[in-house]
Amino acid sequence: MNKTTLKIAMAAFFHDLGKFIDPKVLELPAGYADENAGAFLPSFDGKYSHWHALYTAGFIEKTSKHLPAELNTGNFGDGDAFIRLAAAHHDPSSAMEWIVALADRISSGMDRKTFDKESMQSVQIKDYKTTRLLPVFEHMTLADAPESLTAEKCRFRYPLKPLTAESIFPIQQKNDSPANRASATAEYQDLTKDFLAQMGRLAHAETDTALWFEHFDSLVKEYTWAIPAARVGKVIPDVSLYDHLRTSAAIATAMYLFHADSHTLEPRAVQNIDDEKFLLISGSFSGIQNFIFSSGGESAKYRSKILRGRSFYVSLLSDLAAQLLCRKIGLPHTAVMFNAGGRFTLLAPNTESAADALVAAEKEINDWLVARTYGETSMIFSSVTAKSRDFESTHFSALWERLVNAGDEKKYSKLDLAAYGGAVEDYLDKFCNDLSSALCPLCGKRPAERDVAVHDIPCCALCRDHVFLGENLVKHPYVLITEKNADFPGKRLFDPVFEQFQLYFSTTDPARTTRSRTILKYWCLDVGQADTDFARVTGRQLNGYVPIYSDTEEGEDAEPGMPKTLNDLATSAATNGQGVEALGVLKADVDNLGLLMACGLRKHLYTVSRMASLSRQLDHFFSLFLPDFLSNSEKFQNIYTVFAGGDDLFLIGPWNRIIELSTVLENKFKAYVCQNPEITFSAGISLHKPHTPINTLAKASEDALEKSKHGGRKRITLFEHTVTWPVFKALDAVRDELYQWTADQWISLVFLYRINFFIAMAEEEKLLFTSSQEGIPLDRMNCTQWRAKLAYSLERSALPGIDPGQRKERLNHVREKMAMWLTVYGGDLRIALWVLQYSLRKESKNG
């Protein structure tokens, strides 16, 4: 990537920061506005407008000591000065200034006429700071909805706070609206002060501008995610400033490279909206579940570490596949507009060299993957060309549909069988038969390698790297991605990703890192980075939570800070020897997400920046809120996040806590999506002994989730019974009442187990009534006797030794409740009953 490309990207990313940065906090010199307004601002009826552009210029000048020096010098790439590119987007004159200006409009989904008209209407400019970001979720619907939608009709807002697991939840407007303009201004000023303080901590400003830009991007996201990009005019302020800046940078970069390649870098050509200037590229990691849960080795050692390592490795491969493609085309990191759940979308120029780079990247990546996973995984790339006009709100849904269709079509030919089909060449020749295990004991697929081992156990390089990642992710907060041949102290991957990227872990201050030119990414897994004096780098959500031992806990090889094993999690399900020691596995994802993304917005609201906001906000529930919630909840701290991101999750933990968590998450998700009844998720739960193979755990929970989907969605499946969420919660109450009856000795444990017999009879009766039009045959009438047998069984086994009057009253209560439950819930009553039975069971430690 050349310097001019980077300058264009950074200028487009900076262009609207003046909407966030409060000019009073900047303490601009007296007369600054009068002296500089004419250089950056347009005028209407003799008055300057769009003052935020001037504040962007003021920000660049006043924070120069914290910026890479070249941003404020004349030798940063070719063409216009950086400050002019960033701040003149409402009064452009040169081709490069027009590129940033058009990127601003295209990101908003507006043509020029609409852009200028809308920005001068409706919400008074003086009130813009009282406007709060609206959730996209609230107004999404698959039903026919009137095109007209106003901000006043929306009930929810996001609080104007930095990005945290708590602040991402929308709240009712009446609880968040600023009391007046003064309080709204104070909120912006406080946010600006915090941002500027953190900006001074960013690493690598003096050594690597591109790397610093990634750190700055991460900081801007933290502080502008809840600021609306558009706050005046007849707009729905549901697109965050961050997503607008990020997509603007992607658009500007692609547009610049297109015109530079075609030698048409002049204002008229830049303003042409009918040339196909863009190449929209989608990348999708195929085979995620098989890869993470693959289980074929003889050794059950390191299961937790491998699972943790593979989960991180999937997101790492997706990140680095996008990075490899960006490097080949010459794009900055901002070209990647969406990246979650093993899928990414990036914007490139529609040039011959970019198309060739895409083909080359796909081959390099899949050559590497097939050589190591034998076709189990691959990276699917698809692309469509686009005009500037295609990003306008009236056309963007069609562009998005074309990209989705291209991806779906590519899935049917994701690997070239002519290149990758047939037997694996030299597979048998790679075995070292003199090793203690010639076949890797951890995966059971690849040959063990002579110089590769995990704690003296010979294995393949890929499994060694997964264990290495699983061990170190919970120990070291910093991750460095470097060139393959970089030489940093400490352990590294044995097999560099795509034969290009190396990974190191670090615990030292990033400011002390030398040779930064060989560093491509520098991540901190503690996203907030607030509790340290170290320099700030790019915050990276780990998308997971790992239960660890506290100072007071005991367990298998336990030391404070060590991750717990799956066996530890299963053991924690029992209390004082009571309860089944077993694992619960929860798999869940959002219902109809593809359809919601394609059809859930009003047509005029489909814009690339709004899709970016929607994608990121959805991902935040799974990748930001969920790990934080688990780590800070005493009840759920033993639940392990295998993966959570995009629109789905996979959790393992004590079986009873997993079941309890499922309803908590459903309630939290409803609150997160503004109680929108059309945005729901389904779940499946399976229970297992702790030494069950990982692939068996995954298959059972996936089957349970599929039952929920096929049952009508908005459902959960447990013990192979699929029910709606309201019924599942009602069965929780049934279980609680059954438990109270046993605790108060209204019913015996013997009777509790006999309920299974009555369920089977009631279930059969219901089936016969609904399937037979001529009544129940005489030879199958026995099932209708369940009410009498229920009463008889209660009379024989319940409430011994109490007053006869009380006994009769309580027996009637139990009998009536049981009859009602059996009639209403039928076989689904097993969910409540079996959870209680498993909780009360006392198991021998000897099996």
Instruction: In whole angstroms, give the CA distance from residue 65 to residue 82.
Output: 15
Instruction: In whole angstroms, give the CA distance from residue 2 to residue 10.
Output: 13
* pLDDT over threshold 90, residue 332: yes
Instruction: In whole angstroms, give the CA distance from residue 39 to residue 37.
Output: 5
Instruction: In whole angstroms, give the CA distance from residue 393 to residue 638.
Output: 46
Instruction: In whole angstroms, give the CA distance from residue 40 to residue 85.
Output: 10
Give the pLDDT of residue 355.
96
* pLDDT over threshold 80, residue 246: yes
Give the DSSP letter of residue 535: P
Q: Please name the helix (run of DSSP H) or strand (run of DSSP E) that holds residue 584, with its range, or none.
A: strand 583-590
Q: What percent of the chain has pLDDT over 70?
A: 91
Average pLDDT over residues 276-301: 82
Instruction: In whole angstroms, give the CA distance from residue 18 to residue 57.
Output: 8
To 5 degrees, how large is the angle CA 783–CA 789–CA 794? Answer: 145
Instruction: In whole angstroms, give the CA distance from residue 587 to residue 835.
Output: 18
Give the pLDDT of residue 299.
58
Decide if 12 contacts 103 (C-beta within 8 A). Answer: yes
**Residue 564 or residue 544, greater confidence:** 564
For the whole model, what pTM was predicted?
0.90
In the Cβ-directed half-sphere of 385, how many Cα atoms lie within 13 Å? 11
Q: How many C-beta atoms lie closer than 10 Å to residue 174's C-beta?
A: 8
**Which tens digit of pLDDT belongs to each residue from 492-515?**
899 999 999 999 998 788 877 766
Q: Is 119 exposed, middle or buried (0-12, 13-18, 19+ CB in 10 A)?
A: buried
Q: Please name the helix (run of DSSP H) or strand (run of DSSP E) that holds residue 13, with its range, or none.
A: helix 3-14
User: What structural domains and CATH numbers belong to the chain?
Assistant: 3-172+189-236 (no CATH), 278-476 (3.30.70), 566-718 (3.30.70.270), 733-840 (no CATH)
Q: How many C-beta atoms lie closer than 10 Å to residue 602's C-beta?
A: 17
Q: Give the chain's radius of gyration (CA, Å).
A: 30
Helix, strand, or coil (residue 588): strand
Instruction: In whole angstroms, give the CA distance from residue 637 to residue 592.
Output: 30
What is the b/e burial string over 268-293, where b = at least 16 CB atoms within 10 angstroms of the residue's CB?
ebbeebebebbbbbbbbbbbbeebbb
The token duo for 572 is 């924690």
Average pLDDT over residues 75-81: 89
* pLDDT over threshold 90, residue 668: yes
The token duo for 586 is 């929860």
* pLDDT over threshold 70, residue 691: yes
Distance of CA 227 to the CA centre of its chain: 20
Decide if 216 contacts 242 (C-beta within 8 A). Answer: no
* pLDDT over threshold 70, residue 80: yes
* pLDDT over threshold 90, residue 474: no
**Which tens digit of pLDDT belongs to each residue from 561-607?**
778 888 889 999 998 888 999 999 999 999 998 888 888 888 888 89
Q: Indicate the pLDDT class of residue 177, thresholds 50, 70 and 90.
A: low
CB contact set of 190 (below 8 Å; sequence gap of 6+): none
Question: 3-state SS string over 716-773?
Answer: EEECCEEEEHHHHHHHHHHHHHHHHHHHCCCCCHHHHHHHHHHHHHHHHHHHHHHHCC
Please, what's the largest Cα pairwise distance for the chain? 99
Instruction: In whole angstroms, give the CA distance from residue 640 to residue 650.
Output: 9
Instruction: In whole angstroms, give the CA distance from residue 659 to residue 664.
Output: 9
* pLDDT over threshold 50, residue 123: no
Average pLDDT over residues 422-426: 83
